[in-house]
Amino acid sequence: MSELHAANPTERVQALLKLTQRLTELLQEETRLFKAKRPQDALGLQDEKTQLANVYRAEVARTKQDPTRFATAPAPMKAMLREATQAFHTALSENGHVVNALKVVTEGVVKAIADEAARQRSAGAGYGPGATARQATPQGFAVAVNRTA
């Protein structure tokens, strides 16, 4: 599904309104889970959120190309859509701040782990007065990070 199923501008506004409201709910739930330090629980929201976001993005692009798509829809419905869109942007902004904070924390943890691994690799060999330090040979250290946090 990449386009709203609507026969006329009124139905299109109704469909986009429902889509925008659901997308906002998903973002708010994801943000709540992230704040509760339960990002793993948000994984179940990703498929629906991605699908709805793709339809939303495509519909907004079509509307920019053809502003008459909503022209004859009733003014109160268009006002409701504007309010829902504003709520969506607010939820999107808050979600972005929370995701960025999680990213910073995750990067800090990964760096601490990498630093500790490097420190342990360069530790001296042996014990006692005759112990010598190992010559550290430069080696790469690979870390994989999932960017969807």
**pLDDT tens sequence across 61-119:** 998 999 888 889 999 999 999 999 999 999 999 999 999 988 888 888 888 898 888 88
pLDDT score recorded for residue 72 = 92
Token pair, residue 120, equals: 């342990």
Of the two residues 6 and 11, the one the predictor is more confident about is 11
pLDDT score recorded for residue 83 = 97
Per-residue pLDDT of 12-22, as tens digits, reads: 999 999 999 99
Find out whether 74 and 10 touch, Cβ atoms under 8 Å: yes
pLDDT at 1 over 90: no
Find out whether 63 and 55 touch, Cβ atoms under 8 Å: no
Alpha-carbon gap, residue 119 to 89, rounded angstroms? 45
Alpha-carbon gap, residue 116 to 110, rounded angstroms? 10
Instruction: Count Cα neighbours of 130 within 13 Å in the Cβ-side half-sphere.
Output: 0
Per-residue pLDDT of 132-141, as tens digits, reads: 655 555 566 6
Q: pTM score, two decimals?
A: 0.73
pLDDT at 121 over 70: yes
Find out whether 23 and 88 touch, Cβ atoms under 8 Å: yes
Percent of the chain with pLDDT over 90: 56
What's the CATH fold of domain 9-119? Methane Monooxygenase Hydroxylase; Chain G, domain 1 (1.20.58)
